[in-house]
Chains A and B, each alone.
Chain A
């Protein structure tokens, strides 16, 4: 069957609807004529329930997903999403509770939040946790605003710079800019770590702090981390930990003990809340006692009578969003931690690191490593295959689709040419890893012998390579019958 499915508007026919709503059972009040909409929702679609369900079911099959196959995207931690989580998060006491119904009517939800604050703090070595941020990037923004508030609170007004390694996620510099601070980029050394000389040279009385992912985006542990934190602190700055790669160090190391002052947790990576095709995430944050007063509210604490209550820290930077965070994600993360406990979490990281190193060890003869070292939960290789000319990492990635694999992260970190960033996660089997390795090795052969297979790939996906230039030059961002006709006619 053709994978093509029309736009939902093209399936519409006047007079249909897909829901069964209550009857009007009260006397009618006149509508205020001057406030009514003029167009009567003219171009809104009209379909039955079956038509809607069939449409979305059909298009869902055009997606790669964890439930249908492995996704080795580096820095994304695409691990299995336990089905228990999807059940428990939908209990009415969670899914149908009103966020403003008051502490007295919300004790179960508040207790769950209180416990999750504690668990995350324990796992990371931090004193205080706020569950409010909606995603990792918002967690970063929270942290950098807290750094700024901390310095200002001490009368320290001249700290206007944030140090960010050149290998960092794009969210780091974008965050610093949103917080009104200047980004100072740090070099990486030959071993793929922060260049210590460059760090020493860039630290100054203007340093508000440093943002660092550890393990970093090359999948390498910053073995000078204690010294890095010491130097930043010595200069009067604070250390921000980007928790995107936390899956490597559960029960292996605690960022708070390494010297970090603040970090975010990507609950949608490390703590297996589903990615949802781009969100929702959850970017809870943890920090030291010194920074705790600046956390966004509300947080949850225990009242003297043993009940749980929401409160806002005294010097809070303010709310990051309405209400209390992406609560449904919190239920899933709590369940995950309670499922695994200390040993289980450590086993997660040990296995994630084992799997990544196994893939690295078995591919590095064909795909050069960015840095020849033991890696953590992900490995960065280069799509520079000996004897293959005119083949790029993009072609390798697209050919992997023909072998049934979602490509790894490509062209990131930016400092590695032709980067292929592979993160297998702990939930994949050796059998799956071996299949991926065999596919990658076969592609390396094809790259030399039959490169056209790579250039033409993918040929076994719902669609082939797209005209991205046309999408950007002649943007069609909503349904338009005429634009669709033109696209179909070529």
Chain B
């Protein structure tokens, strides 16, 4: 009997008697006899100390933010995670709870989600936020589906080239079975204006990203009006850390705004679980996908929280639901909530300043190196570096020095030549940046 089983042999016998069968095997008489109790070729079980050793060995084979200096971003960023975030996540009352369908005994989770929605609205300037999607990519895909439901009889989505290539791929996966055209991102170097030019009377949604995949900040003022004048909606994908300093999607009049919430205290985690942030205007609330928590009161008049506007969801609406989403990223939303609460107004601004200043310092140092060039234009924490040699060779040299170099743009933006996308955050000290610059100089 494993240590996860709590029924003794004597109890088992007593229970079988109560059920009225002779053996446990009798409980499985409905399973076709020739398919019953198959052999499973699995490794022999391991004890806890053996598992610890095995997993430590596996973990030690991966570069990570403790073993390496990380200058790689491209959608996942090495930001500071305050110790208190994980301390709260480790409370069993949070992480071993179920979805809060029974509000009387789920007020902890419900209040945390309500505070998450409040904080996300404050950060973005948007009117409503849902309880989360899977990640930034699926949040964009759900934005497209929502727009197709809101803007009737239009079957075209325009997506700017500056949207993360993996997000654009997921958008295409999600919409592949629907009769929808996705365009705007086919041409290398296509600008926001190029995308806007494609927004016509068939278009339901324009999706833009700022800072974009290449790190550039765009002035989005006036864009929403131009899109809306053509009867379409505007979705803005943002970096939540950038909003400590820069234009919010709410200020520029976006209809929908999405983000990858990973920078808000989630850590790198080899790609997940992350957090899909999804916000919209109040008037679109009945078409939003995913859970929403609202404030109300109980029969004694106490303020309390509950899942609300549930008639949008799959368990009630079935094939007419706004999405099939059920399980979301609840615990990750809690992490972001604790992170934003700890950072507060000053901390959010401070982290953004540190990213901006250190990234600009790094860019200036690299631009001064012979053979290297840095792309112009305003950027936040990521920028494109043209290199004198193939990026793979440069990254191999950086690896020797326990530095994880930038993202090789060769596959996504081949016309840029030997180009890498470098990310600098508040975790990269000046000394670390100087060391990066030294290695780059030596391999030029």
Contacts and interface: CB of A to CB of B under 8 A. Distances in A.
Say if A and B assemble together. Answer: yes
Contacts of A43: 122
A46 B345 contact: yes
A299 to B, nearest CB: 14
A169 to B, nearest CB: 8
Interface in A155-197: 169-171, 173-181, 183
B285 interface: yes
Contacts of A275: 95-99, 327, 330
B22 interface: no
B178 A180 contact: yes
Give the most central of B78, B138, B291: most A CB within 10 Å: B138
Interface in B323-349: 323-332, 334, 337-338, 340-349
B308 A468 contact: yes
Contacts of B18: 358, 361-362
A99 B102 contact: no
B259 to A, nearest CB: 12
Contact of B300 (A93, A353, A464): A464
Nearest to B427: A22
Given A254-B38, A327-B272, A45 B84 contact: no
Contacts of B27: 350, 353-354, 357, 374, 376
Given A29-B361, A81-B96, A91-B56, A467 B298 contact: yes
Nearest to B340: A44
Interface residues of B, number: 208
Interface string B8-44: 1001101110111100101111111001111111111
A471 B345 contact: no
Given A26-B357, A119-B42, A468-B308, A354 B138 contact: no
B61 A327 contact: no
B125 to A, nearest CB: 7
A345 interface: yes
Contacts of B179: 180
A302 interface: no
Given A374-B27, A478-B128, A137 B314 contact: yes
A272 B4 CA distance: 11
B350 interface: yes
B430 A134 contact: no
Contacts of A429: 6-7
A240 to B, nearest CB: 13
A473 to B, nearest CB: 10
Nearest to A73: B98
A56 B88 contact: yes
A186 B59 CA distance: 48
Contact of B105 (A18, A171, A462): A462
Contacts of B38: 125, 251, 253-254, 257
B4 A53 contact: no
A337 to B, nearest CB: 7
Interface string B69-85: 01010111010101010
A52 B84 contact: yes
Nearest to A249: B31
A350 B24 CA distance: 7
B345 A145 contact: no
A322 B269 contact: no
Interface string A271-309: 000111111111100000000000010000000000000
Given A64-B98, A279-B327, A339-B48, 6 more contacts: A37-B247, A57-B88, A60-B94, A112-B58, A174-B317, A430-B8
12 contacts: A16-B344, A97-B269, A97-B270, A100-B72, A105-B62, A174-B319, A275-B97, A279-B132, A317-B176, A327-B271, A335-B55, A477-B308
